[in-house]
Amino acid sequence: MTTRIHLHLVSDSTGETLEMIAKAALAQFENADVVRHFWPMVRSRQHLDRIMPDLAADAGLVLYTLVNPETRERLEERCRALGLSAVPVLDGVTSALETALGQEAHGKPGRQHLMDKAYFERVEAIQFTIAHDDGVGWEDWEEADIVLAGVSRSSKTPTSIYLANRGYKVANIPLVVESPPPKSLFELKMPLVVGLTSAPERLVQIRRNRLLSLNEGTTTDYVDHERVREEIAFARRLFADKGWPVIDVTRRSIEETAAAIIKLLGERSRRASDGQFEGLKPI
């Protein structure tokens, strides 16, 4: 039986963190009919008072990330009066960190979005990644943190963009049997080169859907099963010859693939600091 609930997400910043927490929690429930109401940048009692009638009209669960004590207290009071459950989703983590670090949290909204050095490095990473998509700009690949290689439609570009948003400079190159990659790919020293692969059946399905979305025919080698198997075999031989780590993206989301790559990057960094330079195992 499906139960509909209204979920109010109240944040004093962009609400990105709160939205991700809510999404992760909701993923644990099946057949949940949840109507989300998003209330970002709530930084004053006046703003809070303006949205309370909407919370009352669609009564449900309130999740919030508010650091201002007066605004928090006001929300909690109004929710109690309306009989609404209000949950401060970051309080437990913040409290534990205060104890571990021996200091109090700053209590300032949006601190994770400050335009500090890390922010500008992330912007630079995004610009680099966009400029080095699909084999472009191979002369600068040595400046990358990560280089992704794989056959067409193996999730190289979306994975690159996701990693760029995490602050990593990423280049990617499609592997084509008839067109060998530039020699510089095999001479890279600094970037972590990762091979992406997929099951032939899944790749054919993705390519076929792509062609259909472009109103193009599907009677082509691009979606021929035998041809696709040859492409994947070619890419796998290349990965094996160079000793590059390989990630099978067949049943992985972009986020899961990116997490695996970040883990590989961390492992390589730890091995380098220990003086170990052996290849990384496929994932």
155 annotated to a ligand binding site: yes
Query: Across the chain, which distance is largest between two alpha carbons, in Å?
Result: 70
Give CA–CA dist 129/151, Å, rounded: 18
Give CA–CA dist 190/192, Å, rounded: 7
Question: Is residue 115 within 8 Å of residue 89, measured between CB atoms?
Answer: no
150 annotated to a ligand binding site: yes
95 annotated to a ligand binding site: no
Give CA–CA dist 121/46, Å, rounded: 36
Q: Please state the separation of Cα 116 from the chain's center in Å.
A: 21
| Main-chain phi, psi angles of 159, to 5 degrees | -65, -40
Give CA–CA dist 7/62, Å, rounded: 6
207 annotated to a ligand binding site: no
Dihedral sign (CA 112, 116, 118, 123): positive
Q: End-to-end CA distance of the chain, in Å?
A: 39
Give CA–CA dist 228/209, Å, rounded: 15
Residue type, 98: E
**153 DSSP β-pair partners:** none
Distances (CA, A) of 25 to 21, 28, 31: 6, 6, 14
Structure tokens at 261: 């790559």
Give CA–CA dist 130/158, Å, rounded: 11
252 annotated to a ligand binding site: no
92 annotated to a ligand binding site: no
42 annotated to a ligand binding site: no
129 annotated to a ligand binding site: no
Binding residues: 150-157
Could you list the residues known to form a binding site for ADP, using ranges.
150-157
